[in-house]
Amino acid sequence: MRRLDTRSADFESELSALLAFETSQDPEVDARVAAILADVKARGDAAVVEYTNRFDGTQATTMADLELTQDELKDAFERLPQVQKDALTFAAKRVRSYHEHQKMSSWTYEDEDGTLLGQQITALDRVGIYVPGGKAAYPSSVLMNAIPAHVAGVAEIIMVVPTPKGEKNDLVLAAAYVAGVSRAFTVGGAQAVGALAYGTQTVPQVDKITGPGNAYVASAKRAVFGVVGIDMVAGPSEILVLCDGSTDPDWVAIDLFSQAEHDEIAQAILLCPDAAYIDRVAASIEKLLPSQPRRDIIAASLGNRGALIHVADLDEACAISNRIAPEHLELQVADPKAWVEKLRHAGAIFMGKFTSESLGDYCAGPNHVLPTARSARFSSPLGVYDFQKRSSLIMVSEAGAQTLGRVAATLAHGEGLTAHANAAELRLK
């Protein structure tokens, strides 16, 4: 695993190289996706069924063959071992309880003229959640997407999940049951995104699509942005561990693994001012790697994009962390509350040695859908606020129309917009 030192003359260029990641779109993927979307928009169900049979190896004849009933979701839950049922239910409860804190409320105030101003908050009517299928089927993602929508008050939640060769994942279906998904279709890819964005004879049109997917899904979400809302275009997973050397090095090694195991282009970085401690983490990595079932992926990820970085002190570590703006940031220091305010850009901050990133992934309560690829500079974890929106409220009093009207007319005339000015002037006494 790469070792860097901020005191090295080459550090700046080494860090830039480490962080460089080509997120640019693939024009060939975009073109294929555009064709699929246009076809789904034009032909609806028939197109979705055809693409699903072609790409997922299914034998559906109608869209009804690709819909999961509420009974199927419930049966999947009932089939689970008790320990999994309890874990899903516990996680859902914690996630719901945390997200209740995010719910926004309407607000208004009156100014001195009696003019009322504010914002009315409403939930989206209907949302679509995309759940990846196949190898990387994550029931926790169902909870993390559907529960905030529920808390927001979204009336209808439509889930899509591809089932390659028709193989359904009981945990995913059970999570949909626990999270209260309204309808579920076993479709994926750009065709699923198109069905949700435009609606088909069977799939209702949604107002927003959330959830991660492969390159085709990402391209399709980007293409339909505007027709519907989207959450974000997710990149590879990242963890940055900022450590003062007080945490068991085995714990830090495993925490780095826990992002590295996602895929070969995930990024795991340690920042530490204690060179001897970095050696101990490196030793833990060597010791613990061979017993990991996903060791090949972890080794590739740590080799490709991982780094152990020796920093001058924790202040410098915070500055580097802000530059990286990581998805997951572990603050493994003795007094995390003293440092957290220096961390300006991160999807989620895991404070103190007991807070492994994986607790946040499943059941601590906060959302695990987080901004990647430095987008924590400008965006936030998925939340209830993504499923609510605001309408400005303005109720101008007769007195207010006199003061506001003169100013508005002056500015409107300045912009050459006479009708705007006249609308204000007509309300003057």
- Annotated binding site for NAD(+): which residue ranges? 130, 191, 214
- Least Å distance, CB 51 to its own copies, is 20
Name the 3-class secondary structure at 381. Answer: coil
- Annotated binding site for Zn(2+): which residue ranges? 259, 262, 361, 420
Return the biggest CA–CA distance within the chain.
Answer: 83
Distances from the Cα of 219 to the Cα of 24, 25, 215, 377, angstroms: 11, 8, 6, 22
CB atoms within 10 A of CB 408: 17
- Annotated binding site: which residue ranges? 130, 191, 214, 237, 259, 262, 328, 361, 415, 420
How far is 273 from 242, CA to CA, in rounded Å? 9
Nearest to 96 by CA among 390, 389, 387, 383: 383
State which residue, 140 or 145, has the beta carbon closest to its own copies.
140
- Least Å distance, CB 113 to its own copies, is 10
- Least Å distance, CB 243 to its own copies, is 14
- Concatenated DSSP letters of 225-270: BTTBEE-------EEEEEE-S-S-HHHHHHHHHHHHTT-TT-EEEE
Asked if 310 is an active-site residue, the reply is: no
State which residue, 155 or 275, has the beta carbon closest to its own copies.
155
Burial tier of 66 (Cβ tally within 10 Å: 0-12, 13-18, 19+): buried
One-letter amino acid for residue 82 of the chain: Q
Nearest to 20 by CA among 324, 249, 239, 269: 324
Distances from the Cα of 131 to the Cα of 44, 134, 156, 176, 412, angstroms: 21, 10, 16, 10, 49
State which residue, 146 or 373, has the beta carbon closest to its own copies.
373
- Least Å distance, CB 85 to its own copies, is 10
State which residue, 181 or 382, has the beta carbon closest to its own copies.
382
- Do 137 and 410 contact (CB within 8 A), yes or no? no
One-letter amino acid for residue 351 of the chain: M
How far is 167 from 56, CA to CA, in rounded Å? 10
State which residue, 48 or 285, has the beta carbon closest to its own copies.
285
Nearest to 143 by CA among 170, 196, 169, 181: 181
Distance of alpha carbon 228 from the chain centroid: 16
Asked if 327 is an active-site residue, the reply is: yes
Catalytic annotation, pick one of 99, 150, 310, 328: 328
- Least Å distance, CB 39 to its own copies, is 14
- Annotated binding site for substrate: which residue ranges? 237, 259, 262, 328, 361, 415, 420
Catalytic annotation, pick one of 238, 261, 327, 330: 327
How far is 45 from 166, CA to CA, in rounded Å? 18
- Least Å distance, CB 174 to its own copies, is 10
State which residue, 122 or 201, has the beta carbon closest to its own copies.
122
How far is 312 from 273, CA to CA, in rounded Å? 5
Structure tokens that stand for 50 in this block: 């055809």
State which residue, 37 or 187, has the beta carbon closest to its own copies.
37
- Least Å distance, CB 116 to its own copies, is 7
Active site residues: 327-328
